[in-house]
Amino acid sequence: MGIVTTKAVKKDYQQGTHTVHALAGVDLDIEPGEFTALMGPSGSGKTTLLNLIGGLDAPTSGQVVVDGQDLASMGGGGRSKIRLNHLGFVFQAYNLIPVLSAYENAEFVLLLQGVSASERRDKVMKVLADVGLKGMEKRRPHELSGGQQQRVAVARAIVSSPALVLADEPTANLDSSTGEALLDTMKELNRSRGVTFLFATHDPKVMRRATRVVTLADGVVVKDERKNGDG
């Protein structure tokens, strides 16, 4: 079993009297070290699937197993623990805490985990250097460019060495060259640290770098292509 296994996952939403079948039975395995892109048109179910894998929502039916634990059988508290201890998140809108420095934003997950101060400092300084922010540790989000803010978000996502990092349209708010540079950094973290990434994206730049592209349409997987990912 991989880091993620979904089996016959369905997710329905009610819109008035109408039932929307966002996911109609998805089977997916994500192995350690993969750099996988979920792609598909709006409404295809890719963000819904990412939210289920991230424990942000629960499936209507089916199994969602993350790092050996079945999220579908858990309540909200159990899924929160999985998110804290097994997963990292990178969002389109960065989601940094405005009053905290880059260092403090990256450190936040380790504080919640109860990691000692000395270990936190070692990990945070190393990860900020790895994402190209050495010397910017004391800057707050408003003192950083969009690309730098997203690098802080990546640092926060990987600082605790999670089993998997989920990235929902991480380049959508960045210009093309900044997005390219960010993805190169994430690809290098995948190579050097073995970080497993799962993206929901429309961005062809992500697709070029992905080792695997999973295409969804109408709530089901219609294509699953593996490649070398060195584009």
Backbone angles phi, psi at 114, to 5 degrees: 80, 25
pLDDT of residue 72: 83
60-99: pLDDT as tens digits: 999 999 989 999 888 889 999 999 999 999 988 888 999 9
- Residue predicted with more confidence, 231 or 207: 207
Residue 95: inside a domain? yes
* Residue 67: inside a domain: yes
Residue 203 lies in a domain: yes
Judge whether 207 lies within some domain: yes
Is 58 strand, coil or helix?
A: coil
* Domain extent at residue 204: 4-226
The DSSP result for 78-132, as a single string, is HHHHHHHHHEEEE-TT----TTS-HHHHHHHHHHHHT--HHHHHHHHHHHHHHTT
What pLDDT digit, counting tens, does each position of 175-211 carry?
Answer: 999 999 999 999 999 999 899 999 999 889 999 999 9
Domain count, the chain: 1
The least confident of 93-97, 113-117, 219-223 is: 93-97
Q: pLDDT band at residue 228, thresholds of 50, 70 and 90? A: low
How far is Cα 180 from Cα 116, in angstroms, rounded to an integer? 35
Q: The CATH number of the domain where 138 resides is what?
A: 3.40.50.300
Name, in order, each residue with C-beta under 8 angstroms of 43's C-beta and a sequence gap of 6 or more.
Answer: none
pLDDT higher than threshold 60 for residue 229: no
Q: What is the pLDDT of residue 1?
A: 62
Q: What is the pLDDT of residue 118?
A: 95
Q: How many CA atoms lie within 13 A of 151 on its CB side?
A: 28
* Domain membership flag for residue 231: no
Distance (Å, rounded) from C-alpha 40 to C-alpha 23?
13
Q: Is residue 215 in some structural domain?
A: yes
pTM: 0.90
The edge-to-edge listing of strands for the beta sheet with 69-70 is 18-30, 4-15, 61-66, 69-70
What pLDDT shows up at residue 91?
Answer: 87
- Which pLDDT score is estimated for 115? 95
Residue-level pLDDT at 231:
45
- When pLDDT is cut at 50, 70 and 90, the band that residue 4 belongs to is very high
| 12-33 as b/e: b if 16+ CB within 10 A | eeeeeeeeeebbeebebebeee
Which is nearest to 158 in space by CA: 180, 118, 130? 130
pLDDT at 12: 95
Mean confidence (pLDDT) of the chain: 91
